[in-house]
Amino acid sequence: MLVNEKRMEGMITGTSGQKLQRIKIFDTTMRDGEQSPGCSMNLEEKLRIAEYLDGMGVDVMEAGFPIASVGDFEAVSEVSKVVKNAKVAGLARSGHKDIERAWEALKHAKQPRIHTFISTSPLHMKHKLQMTPEQVHSAIIDSVSHARNLCDDVEWSPEDGTRTEIDFLCRCVESAIKAGASTINIPDTVGYTMPNEFFDIISALCNRVPNIDKAIISVHCHNDLGLAVANTLSAIRAGARQAECTINGIGERAGNASLEEIVMGLKVRQDLMPFDTAIATEKIIGASRLLSSVTGFAVQPNKAIVGANAFAHEAGIHQDGVLKHAGTYEIMTPESVGLTQSSLVLGKHSGRHAFRDKLEQLGCHLGDNAIEEAFVRFKTLADKKKDVYDEDIIALVKDEMTHAAESIKFSTLRVIAGSAGPQKAYLEMKIDGVICSQESTGDGPVDATFNAISALVPHSARLQLYQVHAVTEGTDAQAQVTVRLEEDGKTVNGQGADTDTLVASAKAYINALNKLADKRSKTAPEMLSA
């Protein structure tokens, strides 16, 4: 295997004194992550995520697909203006209009990158593009050259690269580098490849492409067979030096390679893989919670690194071992990823300073106005609940962030329920600053509440999911409600939290309607996935 100068860049020293090669982290949460069914992010939410990723140490963040919609263009443009350290990438197909639109959105960035792509597998070329291999090869040279004339930093991807014939893939990569691409990304677009296969593909590129030393090899793996992280790590062992991933592994279909799993996999197993990243790992939990609050996607309890059970030990023999020495059953410390122990934290007599300190400990970074609003809600919660836990604070802040910028807002709700019926809901909402009220009946209090909302905000969306879970233990626990709506093939998730389950339900439904209104303006062009 060739070892080139590009791949030797960024040598750092590990804890044991060994020299570690730097792996660049390319986060595509705001682009590929947003393509998750039900996921939608508005501009304010993308900016919040971008600033957190920038402070976390991400090398590149893909902020969107500028030609997809006005909203995507605006998001890439505004993210470009606020990011201070990371490179900002915008996705573009091989056409000149796509590339020029991407550059227009990126031109304010301190370190802009145009990421252009075209399909190269026989299946995609024949049935999707309806182009010959020679036509595709010419398009690669033309698109990369055009992008390079606009931007110094160009990344090129062969969509469905892992199902591309290796001879053609090598030829295309060589031509893309000659045309000006400094990063070559190999996507496992449909999550089809096995780790040993991916190792062989990356090794072949390292050994067979004569100018491969002029570029960094990147990989972008999907999780259709649950192998995205394994494939990414295998590719790194073979010579890849950039990993494309998302927070919590969100993305199209089964998702993308998970940022936190890649980063901690490299950190924990430096004995096998002498690599490291620039990621501040203690910010991982904060990133996970932030994304969950923005998207409404709850993290499954058994999710590696960031799941609620990731550091939980129920078996007696495990508990005994951990008490004697944490390393018996923990291969990393909870503190290394930013996790604090769940505990009773604050009460109704706690002040603003203590509240602010607790938010910092929990990885919740808010502006002064947002902290003040959250503090007011905390005092109200503390009056209702006997015990306030870390999880309560997280849910409260998450709810505040979720609903802060909504044009449709919850005001008050009064419900008549019980076996005698009829069940009624008296609802007040603020729509574009105007208070509106509605009384509705329904088959139960939740149905009555949702009927009242629908009467005030008419829509054709269908309720796909209604889910309730308790944030903490006890009868006074906050309820966290998730609602999923579908309209014309577009799905969105809404979330709400409150000690009253019906209020939480109303908030979640209203949150979903706000997201749906935002998503109606977005259109997905052909070949969206790279």
pLDDT tens per residue across span 269-294: 999 999 999 999 999 999 998 898 78
- Structure confidence at residue 377 (pLDDT): 80
Sorting pLDDT into bands at 50, 70 and 90, what band is 239? very high
**pLDDT higher than 70, residue 523:** no
- Structure confidence at residue 197 (pLDDT): 98
When the pLDDT of each residue in the chain is averaged and rounded to a whole number, the result is: 88
- Structure confidence at residue 167 (pLDDT): 98
Higher per-residue confidence, 390 vs 376 = 376
Higher per-residue confidence, 311 vs 232 = 232
Least confident of 67-81, 168-182, 487-501: 487-501
Q: Stretch 208-216: mean pLDDT, rounded?
A: 98
Q: Which residues of 438-455 are buried (b: 16+ CB within 10 A; e: fewer)?
A: bebebeebbbbbbbbbbe
- Structure confidence at residue 403 (pLDDT): 67
Sorting pLDDT into bands at 50, 70 and 90, what band is 308? confident
**pLDDT higher than 50, residue 256:** yes
Sorting pLDDT into bands at 50, 70 and 90, what band is 185? very high
Sorting pLDDT into bands at 50, 70 and 90, what band is 476? confident
Nearest-angstrom CA–CA distance, 354 and 397: 15
Sorting pLDDT into bands at 50, 70 and 90, what band is 39? confident
Q: How far is CA 481 from the centre of its chain?
A: 20
Q: How far is CA 60 from the centre of its chain?
A: 14
- Structure confidence at residue 528 (pLDDT): 45
Contact indicator for 292, 398 with CB cutoff of 8 Å = yes
Least confident of 19-23, 111-115, 178-182, 469-473: 469-473
Sorting pLDDT into bands at 50, 70 and 90, what band is 352? confident
Q: Please tell me whether the overall predicted TM-score, pTM, comes out greater than 0.85 for this model.
A: no
Task: Of 10-14, 267-271, 378-382, 523-527, give the range with the top mean pLDDT.
Answer: 267-271
Three-state DSSP state, 210: coil
Q: How far is CA 356 from the centre of its chain?
A: 26
Question: Using only C-alpha atoms, what is the Rg of the chain?
Answer: 24
Q: Are strands 462-470 and 434-442 parallel, antiparallel or unpaired?
A: unpaired
pLDDT tens digit sequence for 317-332: 444 554 555 666 678 9
Contact indicator for 192, 224 with CB cutoff of 8 Å = yes
| Per-residue tokens: 403 | 């609903």
